[in-house]
Chain A
Amino acid sequence: MMRLPRFRYYGPRSVAEAAGILSDEGPEAMVVAGGTDLYPNMKRRHQTPKTLVGLRRVAALIGVRGATTAGRSGAVSRGGLDRSGGMRIGAGTTLTDLERHAGLRDHYPGLHEAIRTISTPVLRNMGTIGGNICLDTRCNYYDQTWEWRRAINFCMKCDGDTCWVAPGSDICLAVSSSDSAPMLCALGARLHLQSRRGTRAIAAPDLFRRDGIRYLTKRPDEILTTIDLPPPDGWRSAYRKLRRREAFDFPVLGVAACLRFEGDVVAEARLWLGAVSMAPLEAREAQDALIGRPLTRDTMEEAARLAYPLAKPVDNTDFSLRWRKEMTRHFVLEALSACGP
């Protein structure tokens, strides 16, 4: 049986308490929420923290502000949105609770779809939105047991020197495999981080770094506490995911699209690609090509054509890279179509 390495466990009740433990214990400590990402990694000896800080009991991290259905908190206004007109999600909220949240489904269908497609219903009962945002980057040379990795003489991301995906590379090319991350970038979400030193809020894209090892800008002593979604006014969103099976599998491509229309014309466009790089990628040229034009088959195809070169898959996930790259066009097209009126 695959078993966890030994560690000391803390189960704090507040974020401040958790942050205090992290700060005291230093980089040998890690936080764990649902555990669905960290525990497999620990069993494979990717991470062997001396101390684990479990966030399950931190009530402040759980729930959706302004929710009409969850009933966990706060003032209700405008069909499930909070006072600002947006939505505030605790990072420790399970994916299942979000999937079942009518306000999320109605106002942020793209994020709802991204969450609905994560792994399996059983894992969504356990995994949290915060955990999915901070998901470790993935790679077929990395997501293996210690014994397997020893047989390839380890890799740059853990215990070794070389990135076997591209042995000339001086950075690790492990893939950002979060479904929610590209969608939160496209939605313009803000993320709140808390440590003993204080709190800070950053735009979602600023959390991610194109480096398979240091893939988050979050410091080890910081805890992701809250996700703020801006008001959905006039925005339409959609998410399309490519994977082999309709359950279990991580994305090998995720396309997150958010469009705001003025009349028939696209006023603002945000298009992000997931699972094609070490961080979510913004398809700027494709966005620009959409703005100021009606969302016709031609404009969508033009956007898909412009987004396509951004996807530079490497041989570290399921499917062949050529085909994955090729699929970018179709999935961008589909995601944009789904945003259409």
Chain B
Amino acid sequence: MARVRRSAKKKATQDPARRGGQRTVPAPRGGARVKVHLALEVNGETLEVACASHRTLLEILREDLGLTGTKHGCELGECGTCTVLIDGRPELSCLVLGIECEDRPIVTVEGLADGPRLHPLQETFAELGAAQCGYCTPGILCAAKALLDANPDPSLPEIREALSGNLCRCTGYIKIFEAVELAARRLKDPGAKPARETLYGRQD
């Protein structure tokens, strides 16, 4: 039986120029291991951290700042799970460098509440079971907050569109839509109630 040697080594026969300058080494070894000092404004606080330039905001939030509320599902921008607010806009923390976030206020799920007062979205998501496993919830809450900040009375198509970059595998999104609608109503009328069908299914 012939032995096939497969290893991580680059194939020697390649002509690098032909590949438009693309590199073949799987991971550069060594390189600049210098850490930069960053002051990030996260949830209204200035937090300082020293990190290498290649670290993403997601990694810094979770691993350096202990803000593990921000989750991740692919780290390639394909699921929306790691969404946070940067300058008030939802962005994917897996595709933003920490060093590009200085001077840009960041809000994570941990910063949605105003002290002990939860944001209406947090309440309605919990109340309607819009957080099932809860893993996509922090990202969706951030996207939904940006929506309500810009549009306090969104229609269902507007909610769908605003949340279309956030995958959820549990809910079929319906309770999420209903929770956003209810939160929008709560912002105007704190006593707003969910529809009976939302809670019990359709009665006849």
How far is B31's CA from A162's CA once the two chains are assembled, in angstroms? 31
Q: A36-B77, A43-B75, A213-B19 are in contact. Are A9 and B53 (CB under 8 A)?
A: yes
Q: Are the CB atoms of A5 and B96 closer together than 8 Å?
A: no
Separation of A214 and B19 alpha carbons in the complex (Å)? 8
Is the CB of A262 closer than 8 A to any CB of chain B?
no
Assess the B13–A121 pair: CB atoms within 8 A. Answer: no
Chain A residues closer than 8 Å to B32, beta-carbon distance: 6-8
Confirm or deny: A23 has a beta carbon within 8 angstroms of a beta carbon on chain B.
Answer: no
- The smallest beta-carbon distance between B160 and chain A, in angstroms, is 9
B92 A123 Cβ-Cβ under 8 A? yes
Q: A1-B58, A46-B22, A122-B165 are in contact. List 17 more A-B contacts (CB 8 A).
A: A1-B72, A2-B75, A2-B76, A2-B94, A6-B53, A8-B31, A36-B92, A44-B76, A49-B23, A56-B100, A122-B91, A123-B77, A150-B8, A159-B24, A160-B11, A161-B14, A213-B22
Q: Given the interface contacts A35-B95, A122-B165, does A50 sit within 8 Å of B31 by beta carbon?
A: yes
A158 nearest CB neighbor, chain B only = B22
CB distance from B128 to the nearest CB of A (A): 23
In the complex, which range does the number of interface residues on chain B fall in? 35 or more
Interchain CB contact (< 8 A) of A40 among B13, B24, B76: B76
Smallest beta-carbon distance B29→chain A, Å: 9
Interface size class for chain A? 35 or more
Please give the distance in Å from B38's CB to the nearest CB on chain A. Answer: 12
B interface residues (Cβ-Cβ under 8 A, vs A):
6, 8, 10-11, 13-14, 18-28, 30-33, 52-56, 58-59, 72, 74-78, 80, 83, 89-92, 94-97, 99-100, 143, 161-162, 164-166
Q: Determine the distance from Cα of A8 to Cα of B80 in the docked complex, in whole angstroms.
A: 27
Report whether over half of chain B's contact residues are helix, strand or loop; otherwise say mixed. loop
**Proximity bits, A52-68, B CB within 8 Å = 1, else 0:** 10101000000000000
Docked CA distance A274–B33 (Å): 41
Contact A7 B31 (CB under 8 A): yes
15 CB < 8 A contacts A-B: A5-B27, A5-B28, A6-B32, A28-B21, A40-B76, A47-B22, A48-B28, A96-B89, A120-B166, A121-B165, A122-B90, A125-B89, A125-B91, A150-B6, A248-B164
The answer to whether the Cβ of A235 comes within 8 Å of any Cβ in the partner chain is: no
> Which residues of A lie under 8 Å from residue B94 when comparing CB positions?
2, 39
Question: Which of A27, A35, A56, A158 lies in contact with B24, CB distance below 8 A?
Answer: A158
Interface pair A121/B162, CB less than 8 Å apart:
yes
Is there contact, CB below 8 Å, between A7 and B54? yes
Q: Is the CB of B164 within 8 A of A120?
A: yes
**CB under 8 Å from chain B, chain A span 302-333:** none
Q: Which residue of B lies closest to A124 (CB)?
A: B165
